[in-house]
Structure 1
Amino acid sequence: MAQWIEVIIRSVSIIFGLFFITKLLGKKQLSKLSFFEYIVGITVGDIAGALSMDIELNLVNGIVSILIWSLFPLVISFISLRSKGFRDIVEGKSRTFIQDGKILEKNLKREKYSTDELLEQLRKKDIFQVSDVDFAILETNGELSVLLKKEKQPVRWEDLFNKTLPVKTPLTIIMDGEFLEETIYGAGYSLAWVKEQLIMRKKKVQDIFLGQIDATGTIYFDYYDDQLEKNGGEV
């Protein structure tokens, strides 16, 4: 067989293989990658490119290597979905940079984030004054999420009819069926009070996928057994 024909066969086979692996890993791969997923993507791409061009390389060994590298993100994702502690280790935790218009310098240092970098990220969101920011948090994917103070936000329908409430970032108090005690007590509530709210709803903490509380003390619970449409939420 001519070498150029073998290169074509290898390339087409690897393209279809990578497409299948990408679909298997999920849509998250197309949006925001974690550090580990980024490393895996580079490595798999490098292996695939080498297999396509170098006909002296054993194709079977290369495919096995790609499968092994692709298997790790699947295993990590599977464990991460079931363990917040493991997810915090692999993906890290979000970090608050600005609260009530004040920069939290210690958190900047922990993330090795300079003041210039913070101001640059704010300018990209058309924010030029730190005092205009009510809340800014560095997400685990490296993106900065910002909530402006109420008086700096665009006017809404509720504003015109004086039906507005103080806008504060809701706090997550339950995640993946586990209490986040540090957040609960930090918000001025007690674990016993949150448990009472669950009892009133005839639920256990294990039934809660996500629990949040807003500035007014209103709790929102998202349950594992939500009744959705039969299409599973697909559109």
Structure 2
Amino acid sequence: MSVWIEIILRTLGMLVLLFFAAKISGKKQVAQLSYFDYVTRITLGGVAAIMAVDVDMPYFYGVLVIVVWVGVTYLFDLIALKNKVVRDFIDGKGTVLIKDGKIMEDNLKKEQFTTDMLLKQLRTKNAFNVADVEFAVLEPTGELNVLLKPDRRPITLKDLNVKVPDESEPQTVIMDGKIFHEPLATIGLNPAWLRTELDKLGVALENVFLGQVDSNGQLTVDLYDDKIQVPEPVEMQLLLSSLKKCQADLELFALETEDEKVKQMFGKNAKKVDEVIRKVAPILQ
């Protein structure tokens, strides 16, 4: 067998082996890897590279090294799932770098984390002033998680006592100009509804690169031709405008009538419509 053919076959074999090793090790991203995971991947990559090009080394030795290494790593992962001591030893623990707006200098030195590095990480979390930080933890992966003080956090709808319904994930109903029937059925819709919505937007199905339906039943599309402007859906805004007009009309009728009972009826219903508007406005706007 020619050397170059043997190298190709050995390379393909190592590629397949590393693929299954990666599948076994889970779906961790590079930024989520612990020191143990990082060392494991470097070692496996090094072994695979050597076995791919070193034709003098028995191929079985490389396969054996990878199988044993992955097996031991997988065993440690299983133990770590059920044992916190082992998990802390393998993955490490988070280190508090800021507490109550004060930098923990000893912990910075322990993690070999400079002040410049800390400030840089804080800026990525939109925290430009250390005094604004309630709590900052350096995770084992090297990521800094920051909790701002209550008066420095962005205002949420909950802070304003505005209740909004839970949202479900958008369903992709069109991809590459083709309708996906299963997601449509999942949200209780059909292709006829989809084609009607496309007609409202003035868009042909074959021109749609991606189409999604949100939890409110609103269709949004992305076209192949980015120069074409798709009009924004206006049904919800029109509904909100109609509700506001209805509320305004009821108040006007209450002012115009001289019958006290009728005035109270219009006024009472105007308040009810106003309550409805306040509840649905965050959704329809």
TM-score (norm 1): 0.64
CA contact (8 A) 1:22 1:29 kept: no
In structure 2, the CA distance between the partners of 1:49 and 1:120, relative to structure 1 (3 Å rule), is same
In structure 1, stretches of 5+ residues that fail to align are: 164-235
In structure 2, the CA distance between the partners of 1:34 and 1:150, relative to structure 1 (3 Å rule), is same
CA-to-partner distance for each residue in 1:49-68, whole Å, 9 max, x for gaps? Answer: 11111211110011111112
Indicate yes or no: 2:95 matched with 1:95.
Answer: yes
State the partner residue of 1:186.
none
State the partner residue of 2:76.
76
What is the number of residues matched between the two proteins?
A: 163
Find the residue that maps to 1:158 and give its secondary structure.
coil
Find the residue that maps to 2:56 and give its secondary structure.
coil
In structure 2, stretches of 5+ residues that fail to align are: 164-285
Distance (whole Å) between structure 2 residues aligned to residue 71 and residue 34 of structure 1? 18
CA-to-partner distance for each residue in 1:152-185, whole Å, 9 max, x for gaps? Answer: 222211222499xxxxxxxxxxxxxxxxxxxxxx
Find the residue that maps to 1:142 and give its secondary structure.
coil
Structure 1 or 2, whichever has the larger Rg, is 2
State the partner residue of 1:28.
28
Structure 2 counterpart of 1:44, which letter?
L
State the partner residue of 1:113.
113
State the partner residue of 1:10.
10
Distance (whole Å) between structure 1 residues aligned to residue 95 and residue 124 of structure 2? 19
State the partner residue of 1:157.
157
Deviation at 1:72, TM superposition (A): 2.5
Deviation at 1:19, TM superposition (A): 0.5
RMSD value over aligned CA atoms?
1.9
Distance (whole Å) between structure 1 residues aligned to residue 143 and residue 14 of structure 2? 33
In structure 2, the CA distance between the partners of 1:147 and 1:108, relative to structure 1 (3 Å rule), is same
Indicate yes or no: 2:35 matched with 1:41.
Answer: no
In structure 2, the CA distance between the partners of 1:77 and 1:29, relative to structure 1 (3 Å rule), is farther
CA contact (8 A) 1:101 1:135 kept: yes
State the partner residue of 2:127.
127
More helix, by proportion: 2
State the partner residue of 2:55.
55
CA contact (8 A) 1:98 1:104 kept: yes
Deviation at 1:14, TM superposition (A): 1.0
Distance (whole Å) between structure 2 residues aligned to residue 47 and residue 29 of structure 1? 21
Distance (whole Å) between structure 2 residues aligned to residue 12 and residue 31 of structure 1? 27
Distance (whole Å) between structure 2 residues aligned to residue 82 and residue 105 of structure 1? 33
Find the residue that maps to 1:140 and give its secondary structure.
coil
Structure 2 counterpart of 1:6, which letter?
E
State percent identity of aligned pairs.
Answer: 43
Distance (whole Å) between structure 2 residues aligned to residue 42 and residue 140 of structure 1? 18
In structure 2, the CA distance between the partners of 1:73 and 1:84, relative to structure 1 (3 Å rule), is same
State the partner residue of 1:66.
66
Bigger relative contact order, structure 1 or 2 (CA pairs below 8 A, ≥6 apart): 1
Find the residue that maps to 1:154 and give its secondary structure.
coil
CA contact (8 A) 2:31 2:141 kept: no
In structure 2, the CA distance between the partners of 1:120 and 1:30, relative to structure 1 (3 Å rule), is closer
Find the residue that maps to 2:18 and give its secondary structure.
helix
Deviation at 1:30, TM superposition (A): 5.2
In structure 2, the CA distance between the partners of 1:78 and 1:88, relative to structure 1 (3 Å rule), is same
